[in-house]
Structure 1
């Protein structure tokens, strides 16, 4: 079959594509940035497009032409500079369904979410439900799959946060540790999609994908810690106010383009519990969904998983430290311009040139210190930090080489800062 997968490089979408390729299908993936995906999945034909801008059936017709089935694995957690929930979850789905009906697409698999409800005050769940309604109201052979907490070898968003909390040194911090959760393996979600597009499931089916029994968030975190091979630790309940504060900070950095799983939508979902009807799947399929223990056993953790878990919470600290260091450096240089220029002038540099160097250097420090906090500008800012630091070192070596022997080590101390920039570059990617 020819199958289109929306959000094909996401946590679920990538697993779905892998399964469909193994099934022998011809797969086309769609997403906003498909460069990396094309290198990782060269067997897939990739289309670069932003779903939030495909809001009419005519926009989708060239995309779905010739397709036998469509799988919608795209989604967003919360509105932000790069995400518009209503457009992605509802508007584009309404247009896509109309295009599929016109183009004669046979089957449509919609990846929804546990908790999707038109009456939900959470925009994530209400817009998801609106998209589901558009699919269910169509003439297509549709399947709506509502997975619980999806566990996969890949990790970002909420699953990355779980690993990071589980790897916390000494104890495991958790807000609302008693909330019930039902997980599902991403391989089981891909299996369900495979059966849906093949027509092996009853048509016009909306079904939950969750393990048989619910467990507390605390138990999930302890399972992840054991999976990482780390010493046992106690789960330490955190005050609810700390969770609310974290969500306020996460929503703020979301405006800057960072997709934190601690945003208010995620915490609201956790407060309601992540549970569904486990029996509904068993009633239509002879392939039982595996519990969390089996899911983790199928993807054994190694050193790279422990590295990731430990570095994940360090990442915001790294970027905050870099921003603070460069901003303070630039501001102090501006405020104490004469004293900074005197350091260069005392070593034979002309006064005018020294003042120009201080002004330009301080302004550059402030610009990159602010830019590194904005996700679209983070990589250019980090590269600029490297260039500026190397320029400082080269200029100082050329004009005032004695600074290398200064007892306070102003040049020597730039080397660790440069190394931290390299670490930030290494951990910049979110997915």
Structure 2
């Protein structure tokens, strides 16, 4: 069959694509960044599309006209600079379903979430439920799969959050440590999706994909810590809910700058209501059980790469913050002490006006780069700008005021580690 996977470059979507290819199917994928997706999964026929803007059936007709099955693995956690829950989870799916019905698509497989309902506390769950309702109202065959907390070798989403928390040294800070969750290995989600697409799950099935026993957040983080090979925490600190609200509001603010922090308010509200489901229907249809959290960890190797990711993911917000503060403050200080900054250049033979112009230009560029790195779509380019501007500063200083290299306070020498920090941060900001 030819199968179109929406969100084919995401954590679950990419694994679904690989499973379909392995089973001998032809796969098309929809992604916002098809060029990057094609480098990682070149066997797939990638199409560019932003589901935030694909709200009419006409936007979908060319994509579904030659496919047998459509699988929706697209999703977003919370509204922000690059996410729109109502559009991605509901309106785009509704338009896609109309196009599918008119094109004769055989079946629509919806990857939803346990706990999605119209009465849920979070926009994430409510918009997921709205999309599910649109699927169930369609005249074509459909299957809805509702994974719990998905664990995968790829570090993204909930898996990344557990690894990040497990990397905190010595102590283990947690919010709502007693909240219950049921996990599922990503391979079990992809196997269920394959079964649904091949007709081995009856139309109209609405299935929770979860392990039998629920786990507390504290148990999950401790298990992840052990799996990664880190020492057990000396002490667990249960942070109050109000502090969690403060953290989530800060994460929400950065969400509107494009940062997809797993600590945003939607995530905490979902956790507060538990992440659980009923595995009974899946067991009766498939004759199998979803592996337990402990079995999932045992099936995935923990290597140096996993340990590096956990520690670096923990450090990334600090790196971005330090770079932003460093560049903004250097610019502010230069503007506040313009005459002193110009005097440094005046010794090179430039006029007072030229020296002031150069100092002011550099200060404005510094502040601009320090602010730009806080905007997620601009962050990698801002890091590159920091590297290039630092090289310009070093080259100009070498020509105009070479004595600065011998400044006892190391004013030029200290620019080299700042340059390296920008390079490292740029590497860590690579998407997925």
TM-score with structure 2 setting the length: 0.98
Deviation at 1:352, TM superposition (A): 2.5
Deviates more, 1:283-292 or 1:403-412: 283-292
Aligned to 1:272: 273
Q: Which residue of 1 aligns with 2:71?
A: 71
Match status 1:397 vs 2:412: no
Shift of 1:298: 1.6
Q: CA deviation at 1:5?
A: 0.3
Q: Deviations over 1:326-377 (max 9, x none)?
A: 1010011011000111122245443232212211111111111111111121
Aligned to 1:21: 21
Partner SS state of residue 52, structure 1 = coil
Report the counterpart of residue 209 of structure 2 in structure 1.
209
Q: Which residue of 2 aligns with 1:381?
A: 382
Q: Distance in 2 between matches of 1:125 and 1:341?
A: 57
| Pairing 1:101–2:101 present | yes
1:224-263 equivalent positions in 2, closer than 5 A = 224-233=224-233, 234-263=235-264
Aligned residue number for residue 297 of structure 2: 296
The question of whether the paired residues in 2 share the 8 Å contact of 1:166 and 1:221 is answered with yes
User: CA shift at 1:304, angstroms?
Assistant: 0.8
Q: Deviations over 1:236-279 (max 9, x none)?
A: 21121221111011000011111111111110000000000022
Q: Distance in 2 between matches of 1:167 and 1:69?
A: 41
Contact 1:156–1:430 (CA under 8 A) maintained in structure 2: no
Residue 123 of structure 2 is matched in structure 1 by: 123
The answer on whether the counterparts of 2:176 and 2:272 sit within 8 Å (CA) in structure 1 is yes
- Aligned mates of 2:390, 2:101 — CA distance in 1: 58
Q: Which residue of 2 aligns with 1:56?
A: 56
8 Å Cα contact 1:65-1:103 kept in structure 2: yes
CA shift digits 1:178-202 (9 cap, x unpaired):
0001000000000000000011112
> 1:114 is matched with which residue?
114
Within 1, Cα distance between the matches of 2:74 and 2:338? 51
Secondary structure of the structure 1 residue equivalent to 2:245: helix
Residue 11 of structure 2 corresponds to which residue in structure 1? Answer: 11
Q: Contact 1:28–1:46 at 8 Å: present in 2 too?
A: yes
> Which residue number in structure 2 is paired with residue 424 of structure 1?
425
Partner of 1:339: 340
Report matched runs for 1:127-138 at 5 Å. Answer: 127-138=127-138
Per-residue Cα deviation, 1:383-409 (whole angstroms, up to 9, x for no partner):
111111001100111111111111111
Aligned-partner Cα distance in 1 for 2:197–2:392 = 57
Counterpart for residue 326 of structure 1: 327
- The number of residues matched between the two structures is 431
Maintained 8 Å contact 2:150/2:158: no
- Partner in structure 1 of residue 141 of structure 2: 141
Secondary structure of 1:189's partner?
helix
Structure 1: tracts of 5 or more residues without a match: none
Mapping of 1:160-199 within 5 angstroms? 160-199=160-199
Compute the RMSD of aligned alpha carbons.
1.1
Unaligned runs of 5+ in 2: none
Query: Normalization by structure 1: what TM-score?
Result: 0.98
- Measured against aligned partners, the alpha-carbon deviations of 1:87-145 in whole angstroms (never above 9, x if no partner) come to 11111111111111111111111000011001223111111111101111112211100
Residue in 1 that maps onto 2:200: 200
User: Would you say 1:307 and 2:308 are equivalent positions?
Assistant: yes
| Rounded Cα–Cα distance in structure 1 between residues aligned with 2:38 and 2:99 | 25
CA distance in 1, matches of 2:207, 2:270: 19
